[in-house]
């Protein structure tokens, strides 16, 4: 649940599962109901943002996108489960909680399987965490639900959003629509965790949880200003084959740099230039994008392409020996001793 005060039962067209009764559930038409489950980590976000930041973002983004979708789909019902703090690859600092890939995948599957078993037509995951292993785990759970329950369509909405983020500069576009942004596009590519984007979102959505002092935090990026390296969630804008190869090399370099950076730092980006105004611009842009994804998924179901670009790497991201090596030998999710 987001850190807002609990709304009145009828304040939103979106029903909250934990506030519903058996009678409420039985009144739904499973064939025209979408169930949404937000899953993201408890993860340290700098010295200034709440540990629940990703979880709050996944929940708030899903709720607002569903509210907007409901306006265009009045014959459908929308239900959200409580947000689930289960994930992997949270940065290794005190307060972060990491699970294994198999736990993330199995919990995701188990959260929505009861609804698939009872014939609910659309099942979705929401997230706000850029770990390739987390993204693939949610996709894997959705595909397993589809395989076992042919009358249900399941998908990770965040995976579709990830695809669109990779194809274009979503965050940069969100702020340039309203004037000159405080960062260049090349800087935005390095703003990946508790920096300008997430601090601005927090200032807009839950300012009471943002610790004073964020205005004075220096820039800290996992790749130096004069070096290339990008997140999987930043667009490459490359059309040629060699351009795409170059962008992928930059992303691999970004992953390697990320592991080292987050052993020493708790954020990556430029929090000091954040503002609530920019947070609203980013939130509105993201919710509009997710609204369109949800509407398309409701209308197309299994005929929609719901995979992220990372799905091609699922055999690696979900491989048990590979994950054992990452977790127990490289200890990517543990603080440096």
pLDDT tens figures, 157-215: 999 999 888 877 899 999 988 888 899 988 998 899 999 999 999 999 999 999 999 99
Q: Are 152 and 123 in contact (CB under 8 A)?
A: yes
What is the pTM assigned to this prediction? 0.87
Q: Phi/psi at 149 (nearest 5 deg)?
A: -135, 85
| CA–CA distances in Å: residue 113 to residues 12, 18, 275, 311 | 25, 17, 40, 21
Residues 280-307: tens digit of each pLDDT: 999 999 999 999 999 999 999 999 999 9
The per-residue pLDDT for 226 is: 47
Helix, strand and coil in the chain, % to nearest 5: 55, 10, 40
Cα(149)–Cα(154) distance, rounded to whole angstroms? 9
How many whole angstroms separate alpha carbon 219 and alpha carbon 58?
Answer: 25
Specify the domain boundaries for CATH 3.40.50.10310 within the chain: 14-166+286-329
Residue pair 201/57 in contact (Cβ under 8 Å)? The answer is yes
Note whether 220 and 293 are within 8 A (CB).
no
% of the chain surpassing 90 pLDDT:
68
Q: What is the pLDDT of residue 331?
A: 73
Q: pLDDT tier at 327 (50, 70, 90 boundaries)?
A: confident
Decide if domain 14-166+286-329 falls under CATH 3.40.50.10310: yes
Compute CA distances 122 → 155, 202, 294, 298, 302, whole Å.
8, 30, 10, 7, 9
Main-chain dihedrals φ then ψ at residue 78, nearest 5 degrees: -130, 125
Q: Look up residue 194 and give its DSSP letter.
A: S
């Amino acid at each position: 649940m987001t850190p807002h005060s609990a709304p009145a039962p009828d304040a939103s067209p979106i029903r909250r599962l934990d506030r519903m009764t058996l009678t409420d559930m039985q009144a739904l038409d499973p064939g025209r109901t979408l169930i949404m489950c937000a899953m993201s980590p408890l993860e340290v976000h700098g010295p200034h943002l709440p540990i629940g930041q990703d979880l709050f973002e996944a929940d708030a983004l899903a709720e607002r996108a569903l509210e907007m979708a409901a306006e265009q789909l009045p014959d459908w019902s929308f239900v959200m489960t409580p947000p689930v703090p289960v994930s992997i690859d949270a940065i290794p600092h005190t307060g972060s909680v990491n699970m294994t890939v198999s736990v993330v995948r199995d919990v995701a599957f188990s959260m929505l399987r009861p609804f698939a078993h009872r014939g609910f037509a659309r099942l979705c995951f929401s997230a706000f965490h850029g770990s390739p292993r987390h993204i693939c785990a949610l996709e894997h759970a959705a595909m397993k639900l589809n395989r076992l329950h042919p009358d249900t369509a399941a998908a990770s909405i965040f995976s579709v959003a990830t695809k669109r983020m990779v194809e274009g500069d979503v965050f940069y576009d969100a702020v340039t629509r309203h004037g000159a942004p405080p960062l260049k596009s090349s800087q935005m590519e390095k703003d990946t965790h508790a920096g300008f984007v997430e601090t601005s979102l927090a200032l807009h959505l839950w300012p009471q949880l943002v610790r004073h002092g964020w205005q004075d935090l220096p820039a800290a990026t996992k790749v130096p200003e004069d070096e290339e390296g990008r997140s999987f969630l930043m667009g490459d804008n490359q059309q040629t084959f060699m351009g795409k190869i170059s962008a992928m090399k930059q992303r691999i370099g970004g992953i390697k740099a990320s592991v080292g950076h987050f052993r020493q730092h708790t954020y990556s980006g430029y929090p000091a230039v954040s503002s609530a105004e920019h947070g609203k611009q980013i939130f509105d842009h993201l919710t509009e994008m997710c609204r369109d994804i949800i509407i398309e998924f409701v209308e197309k179901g299994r005929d929609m392409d719901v995979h992220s670009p990372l799905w091609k790497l699922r055999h690696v991201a979900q491989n048990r020996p590979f994950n054992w090596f990452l977790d127990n030998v490289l200890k990517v999710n543990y603080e440096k001793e």
